[in-house]
Amino acid sequence: MKNSFFKNKKILITGVSGFVGSNLAKNLVQLGAKVVGLSKNKKKDSLLFYEKIDKNIDVIFGDIADSELLKSIFIKYKIEICFHLAAQVEVGFAKKYPFLTWETNVRGTYTLMEVVRQHGKKVKSVIIASSDKAYGDYPINKLPYKEHYPLKAQFPYDTSKACADMIALSYSRNLFNLPVIITRFSNIYGPGQLNFTALIPEAIRACILNKRLIMRSNGKAIRDFVYIDDIVELYKLLSMNLYLKPKKFSGQVFNVGTNKKHQVKDILNKIYSFANKKKELRSLNKQMLKRKTSGEISIQFMDFKKVNKYLNWKPKHQFEEKVLVLFDWYKKYFKKR
């Protein structure tokens, strides 16, 4: 990749204090980009502040659904590239508070897209973070998901991502012709993920701090996990190509995963076995036998066939190779905290 492309580029990252946003900002700053980040508030548990990445970017605190705030950011900073990562990402929270989830994920997206439309030709690249959950529940013989599949979301979080996805695409086609790419990724993991409702960091924390992990499912769900470094590299690649080749890339949807199927209980087995927590693992297995799972899609995994065809991209990292790296990072984090 021509990393020199990003030098002095004016870039907005919404949801910059999130796991992906923090890692992306850190990488772009190293390449000389002028990064502006939007965050709803100063999250205490965020890589952005933990590693003091915020000192090297302009952080704006505010709501993604505040159109006047967004207009002021685009005008003041002359934004050229936008990564829209701001979202309410917790499935459990969405089940309890669907309205709040839709306010952020749906209203936030159409507010941003309308500001981009009004901003005119200065914005050359808009990358929208959708989700594999936007597809809804498909039988295993139809998986991995394909980009042309209809979106059949049912649950609140899934529906919010499907709606935001379609809204963004409507701005990229025919009437408005804005430079937009939709990304639908599998579960992202890696160092700096400080949302401990996510499976992998929650399990690693339990092992390191000798805490009991409370299972929220029966462990039979199938998921695909893609490493944060692969995602950051791909985001840069997509934004650059959309900027330089809008006719080819605008309006495209790209699925990204490793095309590897992991049962939740297998991921836990790898983590607990690495930590030599055999007794705790047996206890977890007993918990899972008693659990029923509702409100979540049972089987989800992705391939990377289309994005590989367009950009020759493929994931470089597999979960089994990264368990040691993850444990090392979180041990240092908890020691400092």
Q: Which residues are catalytic?
A: 157
With residues binned 3-state (H G I as helix, E B as strand, rest as coil), the percentages for the chain, rounded to 5, are 50, 15, 35
Closest CA to 245 of 311, 333, 150: 311
* C-beta separation of 49 from 59 below 8 A: no
Within 13 Å and on the Cβ side, how many CA atoms surround 292?
2
Helical packing angle, 264-274 and 199-209, nearest 10°: 30
Handedness of CA 268, 187, 87, 93 (dihedral sign): negative
Instruction: Please name every residue paired with 136 in a beta bridge, in sequence order, or none if there are none.
Output: 152
H or E element, residue 211: none
| DSSP states of 144-180 | SP-TTSPPB--SHHHHHHHHHHHHHHHHHSTTS---E
CA dist., res. 316 & res. 256, Å (int):
12
Instruction: Write the burial class of residue 98 (CB in 10 Å: 0-12 exposed, 13-18 middle, 19+ buried).
Output: middle
